[in-house]
């Protein structure tokens, strides 16, 4: 009852500092701010700047689950969280993690969403009503009886959010909630967050997709750098304060500001020749259960030397399922997949890995070694590379994905964005002919994803790159070919400037036109192709 009468800030952070035991430098340094009731606060910053650590401090996981040196105070509804049991904090504060794989425990959707409510000891009828109501509120009632294991990454993210919202917390901490969502689902999620804030929920939204988050007019923006708060104020004020190379700002602002800087020019090492076939899908059809629904329907697709392919489409369209066929983790029910002329049914996953290196959507599916260096060396050793080549390859991979200084750290002690870069580096070190990446920019700040994409495209050795993404601007900036998938079928395939010209097709595939797409359409008569905002800034100069 006392909490309901509290008329101060919903959350007060005072002089917060923290240093992990496993890290030599502090993750947070003297962070202070307040979050009012019903306020939506956007927290932005580069990967590893302390955003996720801040969330762990607020929800009590630090110091209970993550150990280190902690100082400062955090008050929720006027109560010091250090004096509250974790069960009590979880009723007041709901958290949606960056990686839904680490949050989902139940085998089926209904039991997963009901898990927290049952732990509160609520009556069965109330649990059922809350679960049904939350699933309907989020528009995912059709997933009620599905197995969580077979959901797409975006669907898992929605289920994780449902489990938190069913608890009806007063404060919601969202750690990169858009990372696994297709653009239309991301817009729907953002509209939901705005609605929740307008209904009185206090929301702290950590997000790299800043341009998307700005569309719902957050009340304030907190920008973090190296564990400190460098900007705390209205969204408009951030535009001229923040480095456009660190945060993804609207394209017109980037074009204006980048025009004053030297152009970043490079030629991709991959040269399209349009001739040699590397991978081919021939009338591939697949379902996860023998009598279950088909996830992929009669897909035929060819990847040739020189292709930089972006695969786009809504959550559950079959994108990851398709790629898992290429690397041999799945075998078609009908049709066949050929890798360099050989049927994947006749090849082991290890044999295929010499041709296709696959970066999983969730780094937790890949990382296991005690140090980053050992993680990166594992694949090349298994492929029989000699020791000197392994050392050189690991060093080059570390440089490309900006992991210098972290070689001796445990991968799983790093931030999600850093873990993602470790998983990419592990495949780079293997020197496979084709680099296959599932959501490579999930959890990445703008600077890091631009830097490693630029570096990857300039690497000698790759004959093709194939990446799944929900980031339309990533496809616009880097792909020379776009494949659109919808309900298990390929519905568009060709150069970005051709495929993305069809507004009806774009809408059907749940893609949301961006300011960069609009800018490219304006410049297209002069450029003849799509380009990054930084490149557009120098067109005609």
Element (H, E) at 298: strand 296-304
State residue 519's pLDDT score.
97
Average pLDDT on 133-160 reads: 87
Domain for residue 142, yes or no?
no
Whether 389 and 440 share a structural domain: no
> Which H/E stretch holds residue 207?
none
The Cα 160–Cα 116 span in angstroms is 11
More confident residue, 211 or 100: 211
380 plus 411 within the same structural domain:
yes
Q: Does the residue 154 lie in any domain?
A: no
Q: Quote the pLDDT of residue 382.
A: 87
Query: pLDDT per residue over 408-435, tens digit each?
Result: 999 988 887 788 889 888 988 988 889 9
Q: Are residues 442 and 526 in the same domain?
A: yes
Given 3-state DSSP classes, what are the helix, strand and coil percentages for the chain, each rounded to the nearest 5?
40, 20, 35
Q: Region 53-73: what's the mean pLDDT?
A: 95
Residues 195 and 288 in one domain: no
Structure confidence by residue, pLDDT tens digits, 35-51: 999 999 999 998 888 99
Q: Are 113 and 135 in contact (CB under 8 A)?
A: yes
Using the 8-state DSSP alphabet, how is residue 151 labeled? S
| 418 shares its domain with 519 | no
Nearest to 459 by CA among 508, 424, 511: 424
Kindly report the CATH number assigned to the domain that includes residue 190: 3.40.50.300
180: Cα separation from own chain's centroid? 5
Kindly state whether residue 421 falls inside one of the protein's structural domains. yes
Q: pLDDT of 221-256, one tens digit each?
A: 999 999 999 999 999 898 878 888 888 889 999 999
pLDDT at position 150, please? 81
Residue 182 belongs to some domain of the structure: yes
**What does the pLDDT average to over 114-122?**
89
- Name the domain boundary from 380, 395, 428: 428
Domain shared by 189 and 318, yes or no: no
By C-alpha distance, which of 403, 396, 537, 428 is closest to 477?
537
Residue 268 confidence (pLDDT): 77
| Residue 3: count of CB within 10 angstroms of its CB | 12
Query: Which residue is it, tokens 């700040």?
Result: 445
Check whether residue 347 and residue 464 sit in a common domain.
yes
pLDDT in tens, 378-408: 989 988 899 999 999 999 999 988 899 999 9
Mean pLDDT, the chain, whole residue set: 90
pLDDT at 401: 86
86-90, 465-469, 516-520: least confidently modelled range: 86-90
91 and 201 inside one domain = yes
Q: Among the listed ranges 154-168, 448-462, 509-523, which one has the minimum average pLDDT value? A: 448-462
**Does one domain contain both 81 and 184?**
yes
CA torsion 525-531-537-540 (nearest 10°) is: -40
- What pLDDT was estimated at residue 274? 65
Q: Of the residues 390, 406, 428, which one is the last residue of a structural domain?
A: 428
Buried b (16+ CB within 10 A) or exposed e, 50-63: bbbbbbbbbbbbbe
Q: Determine, yes or no, domain membership for 490.
A: yes
Number of domains in the chain: 3
In a domain, 521, yes or no: yes
pTM of the model: 0.81
Q: Residue 176 domain-assigned?
A: yes
Q: How confident is residue 528, by pLDDT bands cut at 50, 70 and 90?
A: very high
The domain boundary, picked from 188, 218, 242, lies at 242
Would you tell me how many other CB atoms lie within 10 Å of the CB of residue 155? 21
**Which comes out higher in pLDDT, residue 401 or 303?**
303
Sheet holding 481-486, edge to edge: 356-359, 434-438, 464-468, 308-312, 481-486, 489-494
> For residues 323, 329, 335 and 338, what is the CA-based torsion angle, rounded to 10 degrees?
70
Q: How far apart are the first and last CA of the chain?
A: 65
Q: Which of helix, strand or coil describes residue 77?
A: coil
The answer to the question of residue 127 being in a domain is no
Report the SS3 class of residue 144. Answer: coil
Among 14, 2, 98, which residue's Cα sits nearest to residue 58? 14
Categorize the per-residue pLDDT at 541 as very low, low, confident or very high, splitting at 50, 70 and 90: low
- Length, in residues, of the chain: 541
d(CA 316, CA 87): 34
- Residues 308, 228 share a domain: no
Q: Tell me: pLDDT of 522 over 70.
A: yes
With 70 as the cut, is the pLDDT of residue 4 above it? Answer: no
Are both 452 and 530 inside the same structural domain? yes
Task: Based on the fold, state whether residues 345 and 386 are members of the same structural domain.
Answer: no
Contacts of 65 (CB under 8 A, 6+ apart): 56
pLDDT at 271: 75
pLDDT for the residue 273? 67
* Share of residues in the chain with pLDDT > 90 (%): 60
76 strand-pairing partners: 11, 79
State how far the Cα of 489 lies from the Cα of 485, in Å rounded to an integer: 5
Domain that holds residue 417: 372-428
Instruction: Decide if pLDDT at 127 tops 90.
Output: yes
Distance CA 66, CA 53 (A): 9
Where does the pLDDT of residue 101 fall: very low under 50, low under 70, confident under 90, or very high at 90 and above? confident
Report the percentage of the chain scoring pLDDT > 70.
98
Whole-angstrom distance, CA of residue 444 vs CA of residue 532: 17
Task: Return the pLDDT at 451.
Answer: 83
């Amino acid at each position: 009852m006392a909490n309901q009468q509290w008329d101060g800030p919903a959350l007060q952070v005072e002089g917060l500092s923290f240093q992990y035991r496993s890290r030599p430098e502090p993750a947070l340094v003297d962070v202070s701010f307040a979050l009012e009731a019903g306020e939506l606060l956007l927290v932005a910053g580069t990967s590893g700047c302390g955003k996720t650590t801040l969330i762990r401090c607020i929800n009590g996981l630090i110091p209970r689950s993550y150990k280190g040196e902690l100082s400062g105070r955090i008050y929720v509804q006027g109560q010091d969280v250090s004096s509250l049991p974790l069960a009590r904090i979880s009723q007041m504060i709901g958290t949606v993690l960056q990686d839904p794989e680490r949050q989902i425990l139940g085998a089926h959707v209904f039991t997963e969403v009901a898990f927290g409510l049952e732990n509160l000891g609520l009556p069965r009828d109330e649990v059922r009503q809350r679960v049904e109501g939350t699933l309907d509120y989020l528009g995912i009632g059709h997933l009620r009886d599905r197995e969580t294991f077979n959901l797409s990454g975006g669907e898992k993210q929605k289920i994780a959010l449902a489990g938190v919202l069913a608890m009806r917390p007063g404060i919601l901490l969202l750690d990169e909630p858009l990372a696994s969502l297709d653009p239309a689902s991301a817009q729907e999620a953002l509209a939901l967050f705005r609605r929740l804030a307008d209904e009185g929920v206090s929301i702290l939204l950590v997000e790299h997709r800043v341009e998307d988050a700005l569309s719902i007019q957050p009340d304030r923006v907190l920008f973090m750098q190296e564990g400190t708060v460098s900007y705390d104020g209205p969204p408009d004020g951030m535009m001229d304060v923040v480095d456009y190379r660190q945060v993804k700002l609207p394209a017109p602002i980037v074009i204006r500001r980048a025009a004053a800087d030297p152009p970043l020019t490079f030629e991709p090492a991959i040269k399209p020749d349009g001739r040699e076939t590397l991978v081919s899908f021939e009338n591939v059809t697949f379902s996860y259960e023998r009598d279950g629904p088909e996830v992929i329907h009669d897909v035929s697709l060819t990847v040739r030397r020189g292709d930089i392919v972006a695969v786009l489409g809504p959550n559950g369209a079959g994108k990851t399922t398709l790629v898992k066929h290429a690397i041999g983790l799945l075998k078609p029910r009908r049709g066949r997949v050929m890798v360099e002329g050989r049927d994947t049914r006749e090849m082991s996953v290890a044999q295929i890995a010499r041709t296709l290196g696959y970066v999983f959507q969730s780094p937790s599916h890949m990382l296991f070694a005690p140090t980053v260096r050992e993680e990166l060396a594992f694949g090349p050793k298994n492929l029989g590379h000699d020791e000197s080549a392994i050392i050189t390859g690991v060093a080059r991979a570390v440089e490309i994905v900006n992991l210098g200084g972290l070689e001796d750290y445990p991968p799983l002690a790093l931030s999600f964005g850093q873990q993602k870069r470790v998983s990419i580096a592990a495949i780079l070190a293997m020197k496979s002919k084709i680099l296959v990446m599932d959501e490579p920019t999930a959890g990445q700040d703008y600077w890091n994803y631009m830097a490693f994409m630029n570096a990857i495209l300039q690497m000698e050795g790759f004959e093709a790159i194939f990446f799944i993404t929900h980031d339309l601007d990533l496809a616009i900036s880097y792909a020379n070919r776009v494949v659109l998938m919808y309900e298990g079928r390929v519905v568009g395939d060709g150069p970005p400037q051709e495929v993305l010209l069809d507004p009806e097709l774009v809408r059907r595939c749940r893609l949301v036109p961006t300011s960069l797409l609009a800018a490219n359409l304006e410049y297209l008569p002069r450029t003849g192709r799509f380009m990054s905002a930084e490149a557009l800034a120098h067109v005609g100069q």
